[in-house]
Structure 1
Amino acid sequence: MDRHSEQREAVPGAAERWYARLLEADCPDADRAACARWRAADPAHEAAWRELDRLWQHSATAARHPAVAAAALRALHYTPPAPWYRRQAWLWPATAVAVAAVAVLAILPHWRAIAPAPGTTYSTAIGQQRSVNLPDGTTVTLDTQSSLVVRYDAHERSVDLLRGRAQFSVRANPQRPFVVHVGNGTITDVGTVFQVRTDKDCTGITLIEGELDIAASAPDHATERVSLHSGKQLWFDRSGHISPVQPADLQAAEGWTEGKLFVHDWKLPDLLAEMNRYNRTQVSIGDPALDAIRISGVFDSHDPHTMLQLLQRGWPIRARADGSHHVVLLNAARNQRAARPQKL
């Protein structure tokens, strides 16, 4: 087994240890904050945490069953051969309220075997976009470099957006909500068209039609909730703060699904960052004076060469090839001999 495989195998165990620690009533704020940082550090960490939380929530009902209560009592008196949760004194509950927690801790090493199915993963590579038809008639369009996991059960249609951006055209079913889990937030819907984009800093939601309920959680478990209506957008960050609701640029929102970037007064670095998401050819700025240039126009997201030609014709920019898949933008005004566009 290679190092990366070992790291993937270790993630569920780490999630189990964090979850058990946070179950303790005397768990300090520092540990809760450390757990929040661990979850935010990698989409796989957050996915493992959510799977474990799903099991815990399901156990809340099961714990009231007499057979489970008896198993909990047996767990209190059984001494297995020193697994990790027995070696840590701080894991032991101090009150009868924690009996159900002991039962769950006793089965944590096996939670992956009895948890709901891991779901179906859909992903896209650089420059790839993909449309997926889900069993209930919902359609998901994945943008470049995106990944999500779909889990359906009798009560809920659940999606974990792990990275990138996706558009959801949801088939209405009020008895079976459609819930997108992303970062530290959830988006609940019964039948709309909306987009979600996530990165390391924040998550943005654009509602094309319908209504959404959005919740974002802070590291201390405080939760903000907002309802979003058609033609609006918002963002939430890792701290759980939700931005004010704003009008959405629906032309830009719908454009990426057709391979177009509708750019309205963007800074040049923002345009390049967006184009770089779709292409092997990466474009960077080699002169800080270009950072302040504002760009408007329509660009084919998969055609960086045409974008470079347009930039050189409309702005004081010179493009210089730097390797087979890298282009540097320079200030043409600093070198009049480079006034005409360079053929790349």
Structure 2
Amino acid sequence: MDRENANGGTRPGSQDEAEQWFARLLDANCPPEERAAFERWRNADPNHAAAYRELELIWKRSEAAVRDPAIAAAAQRALRGEPAAPRRWLFPALAAGLALLVAVVALPRWLATPADPVGSAYATRAGQQRTVQLADGSSVLLDTDTEMVIRYSSHTRRVDLLHGQAQFAVQGNHAWPFVVYAGNGTVTAVGTEFQVRVNESATDVALLKGKLAIATQSPDGAPQSASLTSGQSLSFDQTGRITPVQPIDLQQTQGWTQGKLFVHDWRLPQLLAEMNRYNSAKIGIGDSSLQNIRISGVFRTNDQQTFLQMLQQGWAIRARRVSDKQIVLSR
């Protein structure tokens, strides 16, 4: 355990560890277990907490330093090893700011841009759903195998939906926009209830009530935009292309929030892919003749056994478990 040094500060070990944790936590993809480990480290010793608070303060001060042209130019000279021209007005405050900026510029690129505050990460595993209550009175329902990071600042309420699906109920505040970053676009809400799902190739947005503004950017930098009103949906892909607005099937859209899939004329592979999101044992197709079977019905996402029984009773399908993690369907 680190102890205070003779000058009343924290030992260098605490400071080094604090810097390492600070860098990790600025990464939007930092996993929940890493953040939990950080909390254990910070709570283990008052010196750890003090070192981290000091680093946060330096980071905030560095944001102001970066905006000062004189300090920025001096920092760049310092990094290139160029001698600075003598100036009588280099007061201690400016020297301190220069030291801060040099430290910031010397950091890795993704860490060197003072931007949104460090976020809070939330995640669900396969088959789990979780409701997160936010500080402003908004709430988020996370579906199975979903991860998001929340960063609230004085300017914006930002949510990064990294993968999976979530339903948002947002407290309205026109002066404090609520923005979801998902895939290659953003979804901006004011007092709305909506869903966002990040797939491998596209992002789906469905609006239950209120209004939404969607913005994307194409590879050539051209911005794209669209808006939704209650009962509408759209998608956008990784190129920024936004699909035409479509009406939503409310029962199907909200089914997952009740643990159900409302299925109408789905191909079997599509249905299996959706059920597999909620279960650790994955169902595959072992006979290509099953690929085009069409399925309709209501299925509980957390009841794989009943799902398999219904398939075998209603269609010419046989299910065979080949391992704890794999089930194969055949004729």
**TM-score, length-scaled by structure 1:** 0.69
Specify the SS of the correspondent of 2:291: helix
- 1:72 deviates by 2.3
Q: Equivalents in 2 of 1:186, 1:246: separation in Å? A: 18
Partner of residue 186, structure 2:
186
Q: Counting helix residues as a fraction of each chain, which structure ranks higher?
A: 1
Task: Answer whether contact 2:65 2:71 (CA < 8 A) is retained.
Answer: no
Q: Equivalents in 2 of 1:79, 1:206: separation in Å? A: 49
Q: In structure 1, list runs of 5 or more residues that go unmatched.
A: 1-8, 17-42, 46-54, 83-102, 332-344
Q: Equivalents in 1 of 2:194, 2:65: separation in Å? A: 35
Task: Give 1:257-276 correspondences, 5 Å limit.
Answer: 257-276=257-276
Runs (4 or more) in structure 1 with deviation over 3 Å come to 79-82, 103-106, 110-116
When residues 164 and 81 of structure 1 are mapped into structure 2, their CA distance, relative to the original with a 3 A threshold, is: farther
**Per-residue CA distance 1:57-108 (angstroms, 9 max, x = gap):** x97x987x6xx111123134334569xxxxxxxxxxxxxxxxxxxx899626
State yes or no: 1:230 paired with 2:230.
yes
Task: Answer whether contact 1:163 1:198 (CA < 8 A) is retained.
Answer: yes
Equivalent residue pairs, number: 259
Q: RMSD of the alignment, in Å?
A: 2.9
Partner of residue 35, structure 1:
none
Q: In structure 2, list runs of 5 or more residues that go unmatched.
A: 1-19, 31-58, 83-100
**Per-residue CA distance 1:121-176 (angstroms, 9 max, x = gap):** 00000100000110111010000000000111112111000010000000111111
Task: Answer whether contact 2:65 2:72 (CA < 8 A) is retained.
Answer: no
Q: Equivalents in 1 of 2:103, 2:228: separation in Å? A: 38
Q: Equivalents in 1 of 2:135, 2:161: separation in Å? A: 18
Partner of residue 43, structure 2:
none
Over the matched positions of the two proteins, sequence identity in percent amounts to 48
Counterpart AA for 2:107:
P
Task: Answer whether contact 1:75 1:106 (CA < 8 A) is retained.
Answer: no
**TM-score, length-scaled by structure 2:** 0.72
When residues 229 and 115 of structure 1 are mapped into structure 2, their CA distance, relative to the original with a 3 A threshold, is: closer
Task: Answer whether contact 2:79 2:102 (CA < 8 A) is retained.
Answer: no
Task: Give 1:24-43 correspondences, 5 Å limit.
Answer: none
- 1:325 deviates by 2.9
Task: Answer whether contact 2:75 2:102 (CA < 8 A) is retained.
Answer: no
Task: Give 1:28-67 correspondences, 5 Å limit.
Answer: 44=29
Q: Equivalents in 1 of 2:181, 2:243: separation in Å? A: 18
When residues 79 and 189 of structure 1 are mapped into structure 2, their CA distance, relative to the original with a 3 A threshold, is: closer
Partner of residue 239, structure 1:
239
Task: Answer whether contact 1:139 1:168 (CA < 8 A) is retained.
Answer: yes
Specify the SS of the correspondent of 1:251: helix
Task: Answer whether contact 1:166 1:197 (CA < 8 A) is retained.
Answer: yes
- 1:184 deviates by 1.3
The correspondence for 2:107, drawn from 106, 109, 112, is 109
